[in-house]
Structure 1
Amino acid sequence: MGALLALPALWVDHEPGEIATGLLSVLFSVLRLDGAYARFDDPEGGVPLVIWRPSGTAVPVELGVVLDAERSLAPGITTTSVGLDAGAYRVTNVALALPWETGRVLVSARRSDFPTAMETHLLRVAISQAAIAIHTARRLGREHEARVSAERMLVKQNELLRSLVDEVEPSLASLSKHVHDASRLVSDVDDWNATRLSARAAGPPNEAEEKAARPARLPLTRRELEVLGLLAQGLSNKEIAGILWLSDRTVERHITSLYRKIGVARRSEATAFALRNGVV
């Protein structure tokens, strides 16, 4: 009995198959068995754990006879006499019907008094402890698999994010440059407008000074100057709209207006105009 009570501690951190093997080894040594069979069903729908002793390609014959009649066996613990050419066997069947574990354990011995009351009690204790240990091992194994799967998924997500960063970084750098150039263009236009207002307040403008302050008088609004500057840098209408927070249709309207004001009909001509007049 002491050996059976020590089983839960011996089975800690063991796999379900190792626990089932250990159970049969203990039963063989304590009960002096001739054969043993154990099946522990997987409550999650996995493959049942099946093992028998003596090990071989087939279940011992006397146990097979009882297993063939498994459906007609009564629940709980039952003992059947099986006569074979090799002799008469007493086969005890223990049906597991726990809320979280089902299965069956069969043991056989040639002794006519098998199993005694004490042996029946030992069977109950050992098989119940094995069922608890196997259930715990399965649960811990699934938790470990879930953690490993989550860690693998996290690694894949990090790799994907790094890949995306590597792909978009050049585009972000280019977009940042365009935004910087557009901001500088707006600042230059603001400075020029401030200079004109100051000059008007001081008196009639001097043509030479005004020409020096700005390479050419452009008949464009501030927004049209911004659009022209970005257009001259090779940006598409959609990119210009994104930088200036405008709709595509609004950008098209500004381009049509500035084309008319500076007398051009295509982007290449507008770019040349912007370069001649110091817009970029």
Structure 2
Amino acid sequence: MRDLGALLALPSLWVDHTPPEIADGLLSVVTGMLRLDAAYARFHGFDGGPALESWRPTGAEPPGQLVRAVDGTGAEAPAIDSGIETTAVRAGGSPPEPPLLARMTTLALTLPWGTGLIAVSAARPDFPTERETHLLRVAVGQAAIALHTARRLAAEQNARREAEQALERQSRVLRSLVEEVGPVLGAASRRIEEASREVARDAAREAAHPVDAPNLTRRELEVLGLLAQGLSNKEMAAVMWLSDRTVERHITGLYRKIGVARRSEATAYALRHGIA
């Protein structure tokens, strides 16, 4: 019962572990608990990536006999027990029965996201006992739960990371727009303030010395209105379908008629006379 309780606690112990760590931990647990000589695990279906493999004893290559058992080769005298297949591995020799080298047990899994195959072996003629079979099934089942949880958490973390990256890209674009538009808005604000001051000064002067608005042509009124809206000479030329030189000529004549020398003064004049 103590071994069973320890196995049931495995998913909580493997929280925040990666799938390779969980697979490696599974083999460490069953190798020690069942006194195994060798163990091998292979899981398929991790989002189209390569198969996840782990083995005991550790080394550059997994145990060949167990790999062949997982691949479905080298089986001899299978004994099926509750979905677990046990095979006797014997030494070469003449009949009737070569000596037993080990007994090998394989277990196939069907998971929500793929498949898993486990193979273990021990050089004991009674391996696996009913208790060992039960413990192996429980350990593998708990590992499957932990792997499924780790895969789901990884997917959530990836989605959250992608959302954060998208938000950061949007923030960079907004910062870039602010940096680009900020000086333009600042200049426009300063021009409006300057024009407002000009309007106030001109209104005070006209209150003391009223004057009549000069007789402006339709084209000059149009130029004055666009100028008061903040358009540049080139922008006014594009709107009025005129050349830059023609617009400059209209502005020069306009300044002379209304008695101003700067764009801010012309803007104030247009606002004061309701032309803008």
Report the TM-score when normalising by structure 2. 0.72
Give the deviation of 1:185 after TM superposition: 9.3
Contact 1:228/1:270, CA 8 A, preserved across alignment: no
| Alpha-carbon distance in 2 for matches of 1:43, 1:60 | 23
Alignment of 1:265-276 (within 5 A): 266-276=246-256
SS at match of 2:41: strand
Amino acid across the alignment from 1:170: P
Counterparts of 2:224 and 2:73, CA distance in 1 = 88
Paired amino acid for 1:275: Y
Contact 1:76-1:96 within 8 A present in 2 as well: no
Distance 1:20 1:64 in 2: 16
Q: 1:143 to 1:49 in 2, by over 3 A?
A: same
User: Is the contact made by 1:185 and 1:226 (CA closer than 8 Å) also made in structure 2?
Assistant: no
- Give, in whole Å, the separation in 1 of the partners of 2:187 and 2:74: 75
Aligned length: 243
Which amino acid is the alignment partner of residue 259 of structure 2?
G
1:35 and 1:152 mapped to 2: Cα distance? 44
1:172 to 185, 190, 195: 185
Deviation at 1:231, TM superposition (A): 4.3
Please state if 1:123 is matched with 2:136.
yes
Structure 1 residue 98: Cα displacement = 2.9
- Residues of 2 paired with 1:22 and 1:123: CA distance? 13
Query: 1:240–1:187: structure 2 CA closer, same or farther, 3 Å change rule?
Result: farther
TM-superposed CA distance for 1:67, in Å, is 3.1
Q: Map 1:214-225; keep pairs closer than 5 Å.
A: 214=211, 217-220=214-217, 224-225=220-221
1:102 counterpart SS class: strand
Q: 1:27 to 1:21 in 2, by over 3 A?
A: same
Structure 1 stretch displaced more, 122-131 or 232-241: 232-241
Q: Does 1:79 align with 2:112?
A: no
Distance 2:192 2:235 in 1: 14
Give the whole-Å Cα distance in 1 for the aligned partners of 2:113 and 2:173. 40
CA contact (8 A) 2:105 2:128 kept: yes
Q: Which amino acid aligns with 1:83?
A: R
Cα distance change of structure 1 residues 266 and 122 upon mapping to structure 2, 3 Å threshold = same
Q: Does 1:17 align with 2:20?
A: yes
Taking the TM superposition and a 5 Å limit, the aligned residue runs for 1:147-226 are: 147-176=160-189, 213-214=210-211, 217-220=214-217, 224-225=220-221
> 3-state DSSP class of the match of 1:266?
helix
Contact 1:95 1:103 in 2 (8 A): yes
User: Per-residue deviation at 1:103?
Assistant: 1.0
Deviation at 1:217, TM superposition (A): 2.1
Residue aligning to 1:40: 43
Q: Which has the higher helix share?
A: 1
Quick one: distance in 2 between partners of 1:84 and 1:110? 12
Q: Aligned partners of 2:253, 2:137: CA distance in 1, in Å?
A: 97
**CA distance in structure 2 between the aligned counterparts of 1:87 and 1:61, rounded to whole angstroms:** 17
* Structure 1 pair 71–33 and aligned structure 2 pair: CA distance change class (3 A): closer
2:107 corresponds to 1:107: no
Q: Which residue, 256, 259, 273 being the options, matches 1:278?
A: 259
Once the 2 structures are TM-superposed, how far is the Cα of residue 124 of structure 1 from its aligned partner? 1.0
Distance 1:62 1:240 in 2: 86
| C-alpha contact 2:89 2:102 (8 A) present in aligned 1 | yes
SS of corresponding position for 2:148: helix
Give the 3 Å change call, closer, same or farther, for CA 30–234 of structure 1 in structure 2.
closer
Q: Which residue of 1 aligns with 2:65?
A: 62
The Cα of 1:143 is off from its aligned counterpart by 0.8
Matched position secondary structure for 2:59: coil
Residue 235 in structure 1 maps to residue 215 in structure 2: no
Note the residue ranges of structure 2 that are not aligned, 5 or more in a row.
93-98, 261-265, 267-276
Q: Over residues 170-206 of structure 1, what are the superposed CA-to-partner deviations in whole Å (9 max), with x where a residue is unaligned?
A: 22334445667788999999x8xxx9xxxxxxxxxxx
Distance 1:31 1:116 in 2: 10
**Contact 2:233 / 2:248 at 8 angstroms: preserved in 1?**
no
- Partner of residue 204, structure 1: none
| TM-score w.r.t. length of structure 1 | 0.71
